Structures are given as structure tokens and as C-alpha cells.
Amino acid sequence: MSGLKEIESESNAFARAETSAFVETLKDVTASFVGSAACVYSGQPFDTVKVRLQVQPGEFTSALDCFRKTMWGEGVTKLWSGSVPALTGALLENAVAFGVNGALKRILSLGDKATPRLEKDKSFVEPFLTGGITGFFTATVLCPCDVLKCRAQLSRATGQDARIREVVRRLVQKSGVRGFYTGFSAQVIRDIPFYGSFFGTYDVMCRVLKDRTNWSDASVYFTAGGIAGQVGWVVSIAPDVIKSRIQTSEVPLKFMQTFRTIIAQNGYRGLFAGIEVAIVRAFPANAALFVGFELTKKVLSDTFD
């Protein structure tokens, strides 16, 4: 009889654990929507300049020159070109990123008896590992949106219709449905190191700041998120330049072929085109992302738990 009770107790505990994991993932995904909107609209003008510097390196003397020519030549709103696919991509990307990363962290945080380990007992390597794995999953949902975003950002400068409907029509007419996954290998090569360093730096910074300062939670999330974004872009800017070239090209390009072409045309500095804009953009955009995510998740937890 006692054996049956033990089995029933273990079964109930397992069911509660499954329900809890699902609820936590649902909160991660929901909170990521708020963070995504804050991230995209605060950082899109910088992203537009970054892509144009990467794809048209000879057209502008500096990031400021690109910003000025875009704003005065095409209108202020053109700095937000590609916002719709960028937001769509960010919603999908961050839903997968925060959902997968949160689930991986919860799995790794369990000890031998399936009980959560204390924060101080967790390895600093874990968030970098879970972030890298997360990067592969995000690349699969982000690639089509990145293709459309980059092409929309470039279309106005090349005299083409920048409306998403027209960008999609031209892409499908030229490459078919496969065109949405143009540069997928470059997307994976960029996203794995980006998310590894992104989530890894964020988790480590949060632990350090909470241990060594008396800052408010929002200040910790803002600072850690901004720095994490900057570290992520420093690590991944070179594959991002290659990715942008491949995804906006009218002819099929391969990763190493594009790598050699950039070096031949612009030297090794060409691999870091737009890095100053990416770093400047990364702080406010990712600070907004994590503040929006963490505070929304806290509200959800306080409301429903």
C-alpha cells in the first residue's frame, strides 16, 4: 500500500514539475514580446545605418554621414525602414531565444535529485553554453525576417520600392521560397557566438551587480542588458557583415567566397564595417529588451503565481 502511495506521490510531483516548466516557458515567451518591441523601435535607426555601411561601404565616409544622407535625402521615417519584418523577426527570435534559453537554464540548474541548485553553485560557463545552443534555434526562425529586413533597408537607397510586399514579391520571383533562407549558414555562424556571449554576459553581469551593488533590479537589468548586447555584437560583427552581403546579393554567394571578396575589396577592416553603429545601438536596444522582458515577467509572476 505504501508503495502505491509513493508511486502516486512521485507521479503527482512529476505532473506539477511539467506544469511549472510549461508555465515558466509561457511567461518567458510572453515577456519577450514586450522586450522585443522596446528593442526594435529604439534600435532600428542604428540598424538601418549599420546595414547600409556593410553593404555599401564606398557610399559613405562615416556612420554619421550615412545617418545624415539617409535622413535628409530620404526622410526621417526611412531610418525605420524594415521595422515591420524586424519586429516580426524579433518577436519570433526572442520568443524562441528566451523560451529555449530559459528551458535550458532550468534543466541545467537541477541537481542530482532534481532540486534547483543555489545561484552561487552554478558555473559561470553554463549561461554561455545555453546561449550558444539557443543561437542555433533562433537562426532558423530569424533568417527569413533578416533577409526581408536587410533588403528593405537597402531598397530605397538603390531606387527600388522598399515596401515589404514588393520586397517579398521580388525575392520570390527571383529565388522562389528558398530565397527566404538566403545566407542561412551565415545566420547560424553569426547567431551561435552572438547568443552565447549575449546570454552569458548578461547572466554573469546580473550576478556580479546584484552581489556588489545596491542598485535597483531595473538598473541591474538595464546595465547588464546593454553591456551584454555590446559584447554580443563585438563577437559577431564579422559574420554579420558577411551575412548582410549574402542576404542582399542578387546572385548566390557562399560564406568563404564573400569573406575573401570583402578582404580583397576593403581589407580586414571591411569585416568590421558598421561596428561603431552596432555597439552604440546595442546598449539602448538591449537594455530596453531586458528591462522590458524582466519587468514584464515579474508582473506575470506576481499576478498569476
User: What pLDDT is attached to residue 160?
Assistant: 82
pTM for this predicted structure: 0.82
Count: domains in the chain = 1
User: What pLDDT is attached to residue 89?
Assistant: 81
Residue 82 and residue 153 in contact, taking contact as beta carbons nearer than 8 Å: yes
Q: How confident is the model at residue 113 (pLDDT cuts 50, 70, 90)?
A: very low
State the virtual CA torsion across 280, 283, 286, 287 in degrees, nearest 10: -150
Task: Report pLDDT digits (tens) over 134-191.
Answer: 999 999 989 998 999 889 878 866 778 878 899 999 999 999 999 999 999 999 999 9
Of 179, 201, 202, 199, nearest to 191 by C-alpha is: 199
Q: Residue 290 sits in a domain of what CATH number?
A: 1.50.40.10
Domain range for 143 is 2-304
- Answer whether residue 122 shows pLDDT above 80: no
- Answer whether residue 64 shows pLDDT above 70: yes
User: What pLDDT is attached to residue 14?
Assistant: 45
Of 304, 289, 275, nearest to 39 by C-alpha is: 289
- Answer whether residue 51 shows pLDDT above 80: yes
Q: What is the mean pLDDT of residues 250-258?
A: 93
Rg (CA), the chain: 21
